[in-house]
Structures are given as structure tokens and as C-alpha cells.
Amino acid sequence: CSMSCCKVTEKSDEGVGGSDFCSLSGVLYGSDAFEVLAESYEFNNMEGPCLAFRRATSVLKSLPWAVRCLGATQDLPCLGQPTKKVIEEVLQCGRSFEVEELLSDERYQTFKVTVHKCVWGWTKDGEKWFCRGLRSFSDILTDHSIHLNRMQQTGFLHHGDISRAVSAAEARSLRSIIDGAVHCVTPAATVALTGGFHRGKEFGHDVDFIVTTPELGEEESLLPNVIDELKEQGILLYCNYQASTFDMRKLPNHHFEAMDDFAKCFLICGWRAGRWRGGLEGGAVDLVSPPVDRYAFALLGWTGSRQFERDLRSFARVERGMILDNHALYDKKKKEFLAASTEKDIFAHLGLEYMEPWQRNA
């Protein structure tokens, strides 16, 4: 988000003036305003209000109509007093003073460049750096008393590569590279695009893939071999591989926001046209390799959005007495795991109509 999100979107076709910030697909300014507020809470380690603003964004984005007065939001879920205050301000004044204040706030600006999306949310360290008066990357890099962990070093080192959004076209060209590398090492393996691009997003922060083998157990050597292959092709700029710690006996998992234990790697690959390294710019890539009988759960979990996953899991828990995560679906009443080989199977177990990935952009 840049300062431009502070401008009110006008809808001239309906002849409504500056206070009409809505569009058919959602409340543009409202959404962006809430994201700024959510981030600011995130930077202050306040998860509750941060989630509340993100949830409000999802609700507003999902509306098929435009919000033109506060009364219209009366019966909507997940909109608390703080969000309504912002909506009212924007409707009345065409802007949110709270948001504009934040956008020009030194702390917010510093965290935005030093922590967010670059160093993957090391808010505690961000706090330390800020208190020491450090305000930029170079401030931090030139302060030799600061110890950066490996992830942070990578974030700083590759900042230029990973800070520019990846386009859908770039994701497609990467897909054929990953396809090629995977099939080169294991011809029978499958590659699925997941994450935001699977939901049809035009831009993303990274590209996510799930790879697996038809033969249970063969997936264990898949990622290490793919990584070697990408290295040989010379496009691997960074690799952080985590072997699988997945064990069916540890399930069901009651940790609410837990991710998963499958083998995965976070990569920075240089494949897109750009300004770096003789014209090849890098981008962040996530590869996950679940065993094939866990594939559908992994695909559902990694397709997102994060908010959609949160809601689906709480629906499973509250309405169905089931525990859903990236590994499995567990029925607490029957005390059994439910099998699924496709995402459709999982929706069916939950008694829900199937939702296409593009419908999961909550």
C-alpha cells in the first residue's frame, strides 16, 4: 500500500461525489484503510485488533453492494466500533484522519520498510532497531553491533528481489520451470500451483507450489532432488529447506494457527525479467511436498486465503465438531480421520457446497 490509497475512489458513472468510496467488488478505500490499521497493530504485537481489522476488510470486500451510509453496515458481522468509526469518517469527510496520521507516523513508516514483507515480521527486533534510532535498511546494515539471524540476513540481502510483486504471467513462467525441474528428477510427480495465484490473483508476494509423488514415501527425496536440479540450472539464489516432521500419530492437532509439518522449502529464484543480475530478478517461491494421501488437505490449506482458512477451520470446529488443518480432517464424535483425495471430498465431509479457489479470496 502506498500513499495513493489515501485518495478517495470516485464512481463517476453513478454521479456520486467524493464520499462514495465504494465499488461493486468492495469498499476500496475502506479496505485499504483497514489494512493500514491492521499493520500498525501488527507492528505493535497486538494480534487481536489486527485480526479484527483484517476480518472487517474481508466482510466489506465480500459485499455485492456499496456501503454509502453507516446504517447499511448495521447487520454485518465482524464490524466493531473501531471499524465503524473509520467507515463513518470516510463517508462523512471522504478520508480517515486516523489512517492518514498513521501513514505519516515515523514508527509506522520505519516498520513498513524494515520489518514488513522484507524480514518476515520480526516485530520484536524491529522494535529494538526502532528504539535505537535506526530508520532504514542501511542504518541497520551499517550498525555492526546488530546481529541478524539467517532469515533476516536473507530478507535484507534479497530485498530488491522479493519486494517487487510477482505477476500472474511471471508465476506462469516459473510454473513451467518448476514443472520441468520436478519432472526431470521424478517423471511421475505432480506439480500444483497453489496460494494466491491459484485463487486467480493478478499479483502476489511469492509463488506457492505443492509437489507430490503417486507412490507414498517417494515424496521424501523429491524436494532435495528438485533443489539440486534448480541449483544446476543456476536459478537458485537462496534456499531454506525444512525436512518433514509429519507424523500421523501427532494428530489431531489442536494448535489453532499451526501451519504444517510437511517437507517444504522457501526459495528465492531468479527467473523474471528485471534490473538485477544481468536482467534476471528474483522472487520468493514456496514448495511443499506432502505425502500423497495428505495432498488434498495440503492443497486446501495452502490455497488460502489465510482468512478463508481461519473461517473454514472454525466452521469445522464449531458447526461440525471436526478438526481441520493442513494435514487432515478429524471427526471428534466418530473419533476418526476422514479420507480425502480431492478438495471436493473435504467440502463434502464438511457438508458444504464446493467452493472454487477464486471464491476463497476472503
Q: Is 75 designated active site?
A: no
305 sits near ligand CTP (criterion: CB under 6 A):
yes
The identity of residue 37, as a single letter, is L
Which lies closer to ligand CTP via its Cβ, residue 21 or residue 302?
A: 302
Task: Choose the one of Mn ion, ligand CTP, none that binds residue 306, judging by a C-beta under 5 to 8 angstroms depending on kind.
Answer: ligand CTP
Q: Which of 249, 92, 274, 260 is nearest to 166 (CA)?
A: 274
According to DSSP, the residues that pair with 269 across neighbouring strands are 236, 283
Give me the catalytic one of 206, 260, 261, 325: 206
If one counts every other C-beta atom within 10 angstroms of the C-beta of residue 12, the result is 8
Which lies closer to ligand CTP via its Cβ, residue 155 or residue 304?
A: 304
1 sits near ligand CTP (criterion: CB under 6 A):
no
**Does 325 show up as a binding residue in the annotation?**
no
**Does 206 show up as a binding residue in the annotation?**
yes
Q: Which helix (H) or strand (E) holds 12?
A: none
Q: With 0-12 CB in 10 A as exposed, 13-18 as middle and 19+ as buried, what is 236? A: buried
Q: Are 198 and 303 in contact (CB under 8 A)?
A: yes
151 sits near ligand CTP (criterion: CB under 6 A):
no
Strand spans (E) along the chain: 22-23, 26-27, 166-167, 190-194, 203-204, 206-212, 236-242, 263-273, 280-289, 322-324, 329-331, 336-338
- Which one among 20, 39, 125, 208 touches ligand CTP, defined by CB under 6 A? 208
Q: Is 286 designated active site?
A: yes
Give me the catalytic one of 20, 125, 161, 208: 208
173 vs 161: CA distance, rounded Å? 17
**Measured from the CB of residue 201, what is the shortest distance to ligand CTP in angstroms?**
6
34 sits near ligand CTP (criterion: CB under 6 A):
no
**Measured from the CB of residue 284, what is the shortest distance to Mn ion in angstroms?**
7
Q: Is 125 designated active site?
A: no
Q: Which residues are annotated as a binding site for Mg(2+)?
A: 206, 208, 286
Binding-site sequence positions: 206, 208, 286
> Which residues of the shown chain bind ligand CTP in the complex (CB under 6 A)?
195-196, 204-206, 208, 259-260, 286, 301-302, 304-306, 309, 326
